A and B are shown apart, each in its own frame.
Chain A
Amino acid sequence: MKRLLQLSLLALLFVACEKEIQIELPDVPIELVIEGIVDINRPPLVILTRTQGYFDPIDENTINGLFVNGASVTLDNGSQTHDLIEICTSSIPDSVLAAISGTVGISAEDLQAFNYCVYTSLDPASFGEAGKTYQLNVQAEGKTLTAETKIPEPVYFDSIWYELGTNQDSLGFVWVDMKDPDTIGNSYRWFAQRINHYTYGPQVGEMKDKQMIAPLGSIFDDKFFNGQKFEFAYNRGELGNNENQDDEGPEERFFKNGDTVVVQFVSIDRPNFFYFRSLEDQIATNGSPFASPGNLESNINGGYGVFSGYGSAYDTVVCTP
């Protein structure tokens, strides 16, 4: 609603003019950024990168230089400590990359685009378990970063189905029916991926979504329906600024008859809820002059980013109206 008002204000100011300007920013120290995920029965993944000055140039070299190599990364699950090892895409054959892509939730294309490095462990004892609390410790470039997260118990849908949108005959949304546990404070994230391939258009033959995508508004908690059984629907998300052939136009935000959609429904802890909510807000207000600037609510000590415990539940639906 706030946004609608703001848009209308802009619309009214038909005399307003806009121009791009140059701003000199001060040099600020480089900080380290953690993207860490522990998910049930999956290997832990930690991506370690650096910040850049806001207007620093972006090209292949600088992007490769963002990854922090040679860090000491340890993960403690309460009973055991595991050292995570660094794997970079440059050292992996393309055929293996495709397989890794599925596991890490990052498209193979992205993985190939530059030398993408992750810290992980293939020791099954290090894989995520629901209910456990994890401590992450990262030492690199003279800095120490720590974080803690918990994998909540996953919450499963009672049912999942597809419904056409109002006045639509081939486009619709994915609906689910679930019961929120009685405990207050359950927080969730919704991801979906269309795993069928385009049979038309410029991207014919490609898998429609190369990874799990969280639509804006994917993050919610049980403030309004603690302990209740309820139905809800999600529209289709888009990946950052990356445009698919159906991301603009009448099919935008819709699933289509015939799509096969895998939904990853993730239970997260409260610090993660606040991080992702502030992240979504920052993405949604990108380019909005009205947004009040706010830094993300990170759960990392000594750096930026987030360490997430994912209690993932999966379900699949074929879109037949």
Chain B
Amino acid sequence: MKHNVLVVLLIVFVLPVFAQNKYTLSGYVKDAKTGELLIGAEVYIKELMKGQSTNNYGFYSITVPEGKYTLVSQYFGFDDFNQSIQLNRDQRINIELGFYLDTLGEVVVESERKDQNTTGTQMGTIELDMTKIKTLPAFMGEVDILKTIQLLPGVQSGGEGNTGFYVRGGGPDQNLILLDEATVYNASHLFGFFSVFNADAIKKVNLIKGGMPANYGGRLSSVLDITMNDGNYKEYHANGGIGVIASRLTVEGPIKKDTASFIVSGRRTYIDVLTKPFVNDSASAAGSGYYFYDLTAKANWRISDKDRLFLSGYFGRDVFTFNNDNLGLNFRVPWGNATASLRWNHLFNDRLFLNTTAIFSDYKFAFEAEQSQFKFKLSSGIRDYNLKTDFTWFAGSNHKVKFGVNYIYHTFTPSSFSGSSGDQEFGTAEITRIKANEGAIYILDEFEIGERIKINAGARLSAFQHIGPFTRYYKNETSQLTDSTRTWGKGESIIVYPGFEPRFSARYLFADQSSFKLGFTHNYQYVHLASISAISLPTDLWFPSSELVKPQIGTQYSIGYFKNFKENTFETSVELYYKKLRNLIEYKQNAQPEDNVADNVDNQLTFGDGYSYGAEFFLKKKMGDWTGWIGYTWSRTMRQFDAIDQGNEFSAKYDRRHDLSVVLSYDISKRVNVGAAFVYASGNTITLPYSRYFDFTESALVTVWGPRNGDRMPAYHRADISCTIKGKHEKKYIDAETGETKMKPKRIKSNWNISVYNLYNRANPYFIYFDNEGDLNSGTLDLGAYQVSLFPILPSVTWNFEF
């Protein structure tokens, strides 16, 4: 039945294509030096100005009438490719682009296809250029893509030095973070200060914050699509860096030249080594420590001109250990992600591209403690098996149809606890696991109507099923568990939620090449993250929709105006959005972590709605010695929960009225680049204690809190600078035959990156808390408010190498 619908839709969309005698040009675009496939490279027919950018696998396909043409391909930082073609049959042309950097390492003025940002239908989409990111100031010397995207309009940081991000008023669980198509559930190391992505292993970062096309689903607010490097097809290389807190190494090369390649990247911190001096060897806490590491690997194999295989994997862990000999206590807290994806690209013909992916994704958290004869272990996590198939039909030069199916088998471990005292075991005997099926089919069609209008319309049909085994605990009116429970057997359906998700975006191109765009998306999200603490911790729980927890639903309307100046040297845009969020979750007031044990997590939750609206202004300079951008967002984000604050509307935790980022990068010379970033944001919301009373019977001071998030901390602002100095990449040698002095490239290239975080040492509030000390009766009681600021001026240096 599903297939019939797809076939009918395909016929309707594709029919106009057969009206004329047309031929198809298709192929892959690669980096000539490394063989790496280039994503988003422009390929077009010069005479017709018709074409497109390559997909995530570097593939393009253009169908135009018979004729004599010039095929052009362009990619940021690369030489243009031009080739005359006589098109009288379907042709396969694989394009190799040469890198711009000449032997002196000088960057020549790049040319970009005109108006790329104004002519597409996509709005609220930003691609990041990895080479530029690496010249920006880096916190503690670690280049971090998640911190860079926080500098974009519409994206807010989760706090000082934190990689958590909030997109257009959405929660942190509403971002779909994909690493080579595998979902990453917790993208942070060290309580959020570093992201799990090692910049050396990353090829492309694409952030969609509005107008999410139908091929993406499962989250309400954004997609962060991260593609890993494929590995050099031509020769072996290694690169790496030694930084203040971590070192990293990447090795890549051909498995079989021009056919198969691999890349392996690793990173490990040495905070544990650094903090050692602070911990005396004889101290009772000796042996405590903290470290994280991650490993990224990818291999790919071109089986034939029509088939390619990609295998990629990620494994990362944070490990925190604590020993206290005095208390006889020691514990170990490991957590982290593991993902693996196997992808198969297949070309049925020059116009039909298939990608099938099998994905494994896992996030685990555990806490293991031992004190004398007591042992206990608490663990939680989520594991997905995911299978998806995506077709792209290049129906015409300006007409593309995508359709596909997706199935995910989720296993959630909300909180499982086991313990023992000597030989006696206690705790929940069986580990609670929640199983669920999630599926979706989608179709989207991108086409032009005349010269001015371009439409991207699509729909996604999704469904979620919570299945047994499962035991539901029921509570009475006083929130007390009762004896009554209901149990479902293995595979038994408990509840099914279907969702219809229409997506639409359109562009109107004005004569001056500026454009107006509008977008509408309606999304369903079936997995939820609940945080019991005021900040994000690895203990935050992922869990599925259930009888009690309905899917989150998000609807977003956006409009935008895009215009470029000075031959595309400057790109500008203004976007407005309104977003409505339904069925959001929070823990009930005064919920305790132990409530999750021997109970259903969703019994501790309460539900509500939210909305957000805002305006985003973006000015970007892409070319020249000076590059950079200014992003400014004005927004308002509210929540309303019946059970919180008597049902009054309150500001979301990350509601920020003003958010400004300025990012600059300047090439002083061929070898020296300086970067700078400045951010200003309205203070975070805070709940303040308005009054208090004494409980004389309990000898306790009781705080009466004001409205939830009813007040604000002082504004946040900070400037960072960096300087990247490249070593000489050439050395002199005397030609043995002619006796002339010539230059040849050095085998080992290196650069130094010096960053200064928080240049003017601003004490930004990380949190404000309230404390009371002393005793009422002796008249010594003292109440105070305290502000904690995390990072003062913090210089760092990193040495990067490549050979």
- A residues in contact (CB < 8 Å) with B: 1-2, 4-6, 8-9, 12-23, 25-26, 28, 30-31, 33, 35, 37, 47, 49-55, 58-60, 63, 66, 105-106, 109-110, 113, 116, 166-167, 184-185, 214, 221, 223-224, 239-243, 270-271, 274, 277-279, 281-283, 286-297, 304-305
Contact = CB atoms under 8 A, between A and B. Distances in A.
B4 interface: no
A290 B533 contact: yes
B696 A35 contact: yes
B692 A16 contact: no
13 contacts: A5-B333, A16-B790, A20-B787, A25-B690, A49-B693, A52-B691, A106-B696, A223-B481, A223-B598, A239-B699, A286-B772, A290-B533, A305-B695
A270 to B, nearest CB: 4
Contacts, number: 223
Contact of B695 (A28, A35, A105, A116): A35
Given A1-B593, A54-B690, A54-B703, A23 B785 contact: yes
Contacts of B708: 293
B784 interface: yes
Nearest to B688: A25
Contact of B535 (A4, A13, A239, A290): A290
Contact of A2 (B322, B532, B706, B790): B532
Contacts of B784: 20
B696 A59 contact: no
B322 A4 contact: yes
A3 to B, nearest CB: 10
Contact of B537 (A2, A12, A25, A109): A2
A63 B776 contact: yes
A16 B706 contact: no
A188 B268 CA distance: 49
Contacts of A271: 478
A31 B697 contact: no
Nearest to B428: A224
- A-B pairs, top 4 by smallest CB distance, nearest first, are A287-B771, A240-B699, A289-B769, A270-B478
B687 interface: yes
A184 B482 contact: yes
Given A1-B367, A242-B777, A28 B706 contact: yes
Contacts of B315: none
Nearest to B763: A17
Contacts of B767: 289-290
B539 A15 contact: no
Given A271-B478, A286-B772, A23 B688 contact: yes
Given A1-B378, A59-B779, A289 B788 contact: yes
A217 to B, nearest CB: 11
B598 A295 contact: no
A271 B477 CA distance: 11
Contacts of B290: 8, 12
A111 to B, nearest CB: 10
Given A15-B791, A21-B768, A223-B598, A297 B777 contact: no
Contacts of B378: 1
Contacts of B478: 185, 270-271
A249 to B, nearest CB: 13
B333 A54 contact: no
A49 B694 CA distance: 8
Contact of B789 (A16, A33, A239): A16
A241 B773 contact: yes
Interface in B448-493: 476, 478-483
B781 A58 contact: yes
Contact of A54 (B271, B593, B692, B696): B692
Interface string B579-607: 00000000001101100001100000000
A9 to B, nearest CB: 5
B84 interface: no
